[in-house]
Amino acid sequence: MHPLKRFIVKLNGIHHSLWSLLLLYSVTVSAEPEVVSEAYFFDELPVALGATRLAQPLADVPTAMTIINKEMIEASGAMSIPDLLRLVPGFTVGFYAGSRATASYHGLVDQYARDMQVLIDGRSIYDPGYGGVSWADMPIDMDDINRIEVIRGPNATAYGSNAYAGVINIITNHPADAYGNKIISTIGESGRKRIHGMHASQISDFSYKLSASYEEGDGFHEREDSYDTSSFYFHGDKDLDRDNQLQIILGASRGTYEEGFSDILQKVRELDNTYNFQQLNWFHNKNDSNHFQVQFYHNHLKVEDAYESPLISDMVLDLEQLQAIPEPLRLDFFAMQMGAANFNDFLSAADINNGRFIISWLGLSSHRYDLEFEQTLKPSDHFRFAWGGGLRRDEAKSIQNFHQYEPITRDQARIFANSEWYAKNDLVFNVGGMLEDFEGEPPLFSYRGAVNFHIDKQNTFRINSSRAYRMPTLFEEHVNFVVFLDEPLNDINTWIKTQQDLDPQVINSLEIGYHGNFNESGVTVDVKIFKEKYRDIIISYRDFDFPDPDRGLADTTVIDNFNLLIHEGAVNYINDGEADIRGIEVDAHFKPTHRDLLYFGYSYLHTEGREIAWKNEGVIQHDNDVNRRAPSHTFSFLGSHRFGSGFQISTAYYFTDNVTWYGEGDNIPSYSRWDARLSKSFHLFSKDAEISLLIQNINHDNLDFYNSAPYINKWERNAYLQAKLEF
Amino acid sequence: MLSICLAFSFTSALSVANEPANKTLLILSGDSSVYQQAADQTISLIKHKCTAENHSCQNMDFKKIVFTDISNIHSDAKLIITFGTKAASQPQIYRGNHIVIRAMLPKQSSIVQKQGISKHSNIDVYIDQPYSRYFELISTTLPRANRVGLLIHESNEALVKPLRDAAKSMGLTLNTRVVTNTTETGKQLSRLLDDIDVFLAIPDSRIHNNKTISNILMTSYRNNIPVVGFSSAYVRAGAIAAVYTTLDNIATQVAETAFNVLNENLVTLKNEQAVYFSVSINFDVARSLGITIPSESEVKNILNTAPKK
């Protein structure tokens, strides 16, 4: 008999029919899903924020750190990450083209900021080819950023050998923090237009975020550096079960950038950059005290930059110095200047034909593959420990830069461990080390030891000593930049060539810091006094003695004379620089109410050192004026107030002292910049909307990075209008 | 299937009928340790009180059964105490002239919302905290927090006003976002977080459940917003603090109420808020967020001495 039929028979046999009905009613009531039952108050819940997943509080962090949160990003009106980094004490930011920037801590930098490790959601975006970060190619919108943590000081024990001067850790909005749709459109002076769209949602246990952006602009007024970039980004998070999460992040971008200027060896050209990355993370919570993650990522940057000159004879005819000579005589006159009887004799004596130069200043393709395992343990209430290991392959390929078709690779293996020990309630020790084994190099050991002493709940002092290394980039180590004639490997002039093995740079840092956290008044202050010793700095200098290819000639007089017109000697990279930087930095936040925000940043740097300047006829010249390589003073201020009516007004002020950039950069006099932003939030058809007006460089024009013809980068007052709609 | 089991128990549980007069019957909503512990502690405390006061109830007989064992009670027990909603939902317990103390009842449970099955003489002892206590906890632990955020299911929108009034009396502003569909919890939370200093979780399994609380806690944490919860488990999961009723707290209050009933001290039968409570603080989370919080006992003392509003 079917159980239900048996049940009905039994019911029929019962006399208390009323009670039966009541019972059935009560069963019906209790079978309804309760919104809240008493068991709900006692149910165990999955531990989302176990001790192993929590970030260290600022008072316990071993190094000085500046946090730029979402509110600050919005208030600053910054339209790019480098712009935002102007807020950070000790930072030097330079735009070497309208949309392309370099940013580093404590100066000593050219257009490739090789001393900084930069991560987005745990993925290093440091380019192994040239070094630094190709900021303009990163598929990330300012609106996608949740916060930026800037570690001011070496931190190789946690982030590896590129975390040399500091670390920029960018954390984007998790899909779950951004559910919905958003469109942001910006239009303004200098031809700047940007549109960004974002959609984030959830399908069962899978959260995802999709975004796409397009931007174009004219760049600096007096430069031919217009640009356009488009990008795509995807972030998906899947909860496999209570203790396992899978994360996949993908992104791609494409950009074209005007570059160069017109002279005998080049004309304005267009770089065609492509960038893509793939990142996969698996997070596993073994228990509340044992968490680990495995991460794999791949980054790829390709810069297409090819220039083919006119025929040599046409270039000669265009030479400014020969314009006084009648055109029919110019070629032979030129040849005589080179030591030949006539132009044909010149070609023959130099063993060249009347061909075209092939040059690519920036053309390069790079890959980074990285696999890392990290486990965090909390064996006791007072001790937390993270350890792990990783494997990395860096690859770069460029016939023009490396003089070979095959890619150059470098493998790295690493193990690391960091511990946080609360010896007493008021005493925290942070000790860590990283051992890195680079292919063909002796192992490198970076370390850090720090003690944080809490005077009371508000006041903390810390002392921190660390050592970190920076490996030479693949470009620095293997560059053999050659001007070819007609086809690759037909060398005519060597422009840049590293002539010896390079060692890693090393930095030793000592920091004494104070951190004050006054919750009740909304004040946070961090003061840092420090001394940094940079040794074996990798410097580029002009070696005038470096011979160009002799092309198999016994007498190289003519080709040597000709090469002097193209490029005299060659640039060489060498470990021949050192700098001592001492100084003080202040980072202060004040949030008197939830409507107000004030931030101050200040740094004073005293820089001393020496560096190789040039080599000529066997004489090596050094330069002791290294103090010009880092700004003595930087100051930043950000203030914002939200009115109840939906209006917000904010302003930012930045000052950077005189600095001389390395590489192709120039001396830039001290400058100040004042920005202001006014915005109004409102509802549009019951959707959240905001419109804002941003004015940059209100006070006066400013030079940036280049300050000598034909490159003069000058920021002018620019106004932008931005509209945002969330639905 | 549940209805079949109950029907069988209906026919086989006549043994508990005709209880003696000087008897208290404790009916549990299950045999889990939660109910057993609450009932045992309640019995112990009543006995202790009766003995201390030399009251006739010191000779009282206490009988503890699970609700599935009461199908037909014609009890002459002087007092029935139910623990949990299932026990309180049994119609048999309302037959007779005894008083029923219905302990461990969430205010949002259907039995409370429907005001019970019978018009019997009941005293409900809620497991929930009075709203004012959540806001007292916030004021005590997070003095810089002025804007409290709350996600509320659309069917509970009526609660917004009393909650807002309770917040206002503590000088706090309550910002709410209404969730119409449980799938949009994350979306409403992410928008709410922009305008608040602390997120308050109140009991509602449509918003706070095993599937959602990880996201709620992680999203709030990523935005530097502390979460104040309603259970110790929420604190273990990552909330910064919670005020809640423990089993001991329940037993203490129920025992006091029961003694008053047995002592015929009650002037009126009145439902009771949770009088006794406990506080849990997640100091790891607090430290990570850079927030300094007094000890749990200090916070509890402050809440105990807070003027009742």
CB A334 within 8 A of CB A322: yes
User: Is there a contact between A27 and B3 if contact means CB atoms under 8 Å apart?
Assistant: yes
Answer whether residue B286 is part of any domain.
yes
Q: Sort A396 into a burial class: Cβ within 10 Å, 0-12 / 13-18 / 19+.
A: buried
The phi, psi pair for B251, rounded to 5°, reads -60, -40
pLDDT of residue A649: 98
B119 and B154 share one domain: no
CATH of A51-306+360-726, one of 2.40.170.20, 3.40.50.2000, 3.10.50.40, 1.20.1050.10: 2.40.170.20
User: In the block, which residue shows the tokens 């998070």?
Assistant: A237
Of B221, B230, B231, the CB nearest to A49: B221
User: Is there a contact between A177 and B219 if contact means CB atoms under 8 Å apart?
Assistant: yes
CB A385 within 8 A of CB A51: no
pLDDT of residue B269: 67
User: What one-character-per-residue DSSP string does A501-540 give?
Assistant: --PPEEEEEEEEEEEEEEGGGTEEEEEEEEEEEEES-EEE
Distance from CA of B111 to the nearest CA of A (A): 8
B149 and B72 share one domain: no
User: What one-character-per-residue DSSP string does A135-162 give?
Assistant: GGG----GGGEEEEEEEES--HHHH-TT
H/E element, A454: strand A444-454
User: What one-character-per-residue DSSP string does A2-44 give?
Assistant: -HHHHHHHHHHT-S-HHHHHHHHHHHHHHHSPPSS-GGGGT--
Mean pLDDT of A648-653: 98
A·B CB contacts under 8 A:
200
Tell me the torsion sign for CA atoms A530, A536, A538, A542. Answer: positive
Residue (of B105, B204, B227, B212) closest to B158 by Cα position:
B204
Q: Tell me whether strands A718-726 and A180-188 are parallel, antiparallel or unpaired.
A: antiparallel
Dmax (CA) of chain A: 131
User: Is there a contact between A44 and B29 if contact means CB atoms under 8 Å apart?
Assistant: no
Q: How many other CB atoms are found less than 10 A from the CB of residue B195?
A: 12
Give the pLDDT confidence of B100-146 residue by residue, as tens digits: 899 998 887 777 766 544 456 788 899 989 999 999 999 999 988 99
CA distance B240 to B237: 9
Question: A20 CB near a chain B CB, below 8 Å?
Answer: yes
User: Which stretches does DSSP call E strand in A519-595?
Assistant: 523-535, 538-543, 570-575, 577-590
Residue (of A396, A378, A352, A327) closest to A560 by Cα position:
A352
In CATH, what number is assigned to the domain containing residue B89? 3.40.50
pLDDT of residue A572: 96
CA distance B228 to A513: 33
pLDDT of residue A3: 43
Question: A190 CB near a chain B CB, below 8 Å?
Answer: no
**Beta-bridge partner residues of B204:** none
CA distance B21 to B30: 25
User: In the block, which residue shows the tokens 């909650």?
Assistant: B163
User: In the block, which residue shows the tokens 């120039």?
Assistant: A666
Interface test with A, best of B214, B217, B247, B248 (most A CBs within 10 A): B214
CA distance B233 to B32: 17
Q: What is the DSSP code (8-state) at residue A625?
A: B
Tell me which chain A residue has its CA closest to the CA of residue B105.
A38
B122 and B136 share one domain: no
CA distances from B34 to A613, B83, B210, B246 (A): 79, 10, 19, 10
CB A339 within 8 A of CB A558: yes
Answer whether residue B206 is part of any domain.
yes
Give the pLDDT confidence of A339-398 residue by residue, as tens digits: 999 999 999 999 999 999 998 889 999 999 999 999 999 999 899 999 999 999 999 999
Dmax (CA) of chain B: 62
Rg (CA), chain B: 21
Distance from CA of A178 to the nearest CA of B (A): 6
User: In the block, which residue shows the tokens 């007989």?
Assistant: B61
B112 and B200 share one domain: no
Mean pLDDT of A56-71: 92
User: Is there a contact between A49 and B85 if contact means CB atoms under 8 Å apart?
Assistant: no
User: Is there a contact between A69 and B224 if contact means CB atoms under 8 Å apart?
Assistant: yes
Q: How many other CB atoms are found less than 10 A from the CB of residue B5?
A: 11
User: Is there a contact between A20 and B10 if contact means CB atoms under 8 Å apart?
Assistant: yes
Which residues have a Cβ under 8 Å from the Cβ of A16 and sit 6 or more positions away?
B72
CA distance B167 to B136: 9
Question: A243 CB near a chain B CB, below 8 Å?
Answer: no
Contacts of B236 in chain A (CB under 8 A): 44-45, 47
Chain A stretch 438-467, residues whose beta carbon is closer than 8 A to a beta carbon of chain B: 457-458
CA distance A572 to A574: 6
User: Is there a contact between A14 and B10 if contact means CB atoms under 8 Å apart?
Assistant: yes
**Beta-bridge partner residues of B147:** B173
Mean pLDDT of A24-31: 41
CB A718 within 8 A of CB A696: yes
Helix and strand totals (H; E) in chain B: 12, 11
Residue (of A446, A68, A121) closest to A281 by Cα position:
A121
Contacts of B184 in chain A (CB under 8 A): 179
Question: A174 CB near a chain B CB, below 8 Å?
Answer: yes
Which of B88, B104, B126 finishes a domain? B126
Token pair of B46 as six digits = 């009543």
CA distance A92 to A70: 22
Question: A179 CB near a chain B CB, below 8 Å?
Answer: yes
pLDDT of residue B16: 45
Among A65-69, A169-173, B88-92, B255-259, the minimum mean pLDDT is found in B88-92
Q: B135 lies in which domain range?
A: 131-244+278-305
User: Cα–chain-centroid distance for residue A605?
Assistant: 23
Vertex A357 angle, CA A353 and A362, to 5°: 160
B92 and B172 share one domain: no
Tell me which chain B residue has its CA closest to the CA of residue A54.
B288
Distance from CA of B258 to the nearest CA of A (A): 20
Question: Residue length, chain B?
Answer: 309
Average pLDDT of every residue of chain A: 91
CB B132 within 8 A of CB B308: yes
User: In the block, which residue shows the tokens 């089993």?
Assistant: B247
In CATH, what number is assigned to the domain containing residue B153? 3.40.50.2300
CA distance B134 to B211: 23
CA distance B216 to B190: 9
Of A16, A32, A48, the CB nearest to B214: A48
B300 and B156 share one domain: yes
User: Is there a contact between A174 and B217 if contact means CB atoms under 8 Å apart?
Assistant: no
pLDDT of residue A284: 93
B209 and B290 share one domain: yes
Question: A36 CB near a chain B CB, below 8 Å?
Answer: yes
B136 and B110 share one domain: no
User: Is there a contact between A594 and B147 if contact means CB atoms under 8 Å apart?
Assistant: yes
- The one-letter code for the residue type at A489 is L
Answer whether residue B270 is part of any domain.
no
Question: A709 CB near a chain B CB, below 8 Å?
Answer: no
Question: A238 CB near a chain B CB, below 8 Å?
Answer: no
User: Is there a contact between A36 and B292 if contact means CB atoms under 8 Å apart?
Assistant: no
User: In the block, which residue shows the tokens 């971008």?
Assistant: A253
State ipTM. Answer: 0.84
Give the pLDDT confidence of A511-531 residue by residue, as tens digits: 999 999 988 788 999 999 999
CA distance B93 to B120: 9
Answer whether residue B253 is part of any domain.
no
Identify the residue with better confidence: A100 or A54. Answer: A100
Chain A stretch 42-61, residues whose beta carbon is closer than 8 A to a beta carbon of chain B: 42-51, 54-60
B93 and B205 share one domain: no
Which of B104, B126, B148 finishes a domain? B126
Distance from CA of A702 to the nearest CA of B (A): 35
B23 and B84 share one domain: yes
Domain count, chain B: 2
- The one-letter code for the residue type at B49 is K
Provide the phi-psi class of B207: left if phi over 0, else alpha when psi is between -120 and 50, else beta: alpha
Give the pLDDT confidence of A285-322 residue by residue, as tens digits: 888 789 999 999 999 999 999 888 999 999 999 888 89
Provide the phi-psi class of A191: left if phi over 0, else alpha when psi is between -120 and 50, else beta: left
Question: A688 CB near a chain B CB, below 8 Å?
Answer: yes
Mean pLDDT of A532-545: 95
Which of B63, B93, B126 finishes a domain? B126
pLDDT of residue B115: 58
Mean pLDDT of A52-63: 86
B137 and B86 share one domain: no
Answer whether residue B256 is part of any domain.
no
Contacts of A55 in chain B (CB under 8 A): 288
B41 and B187 share one domain: no
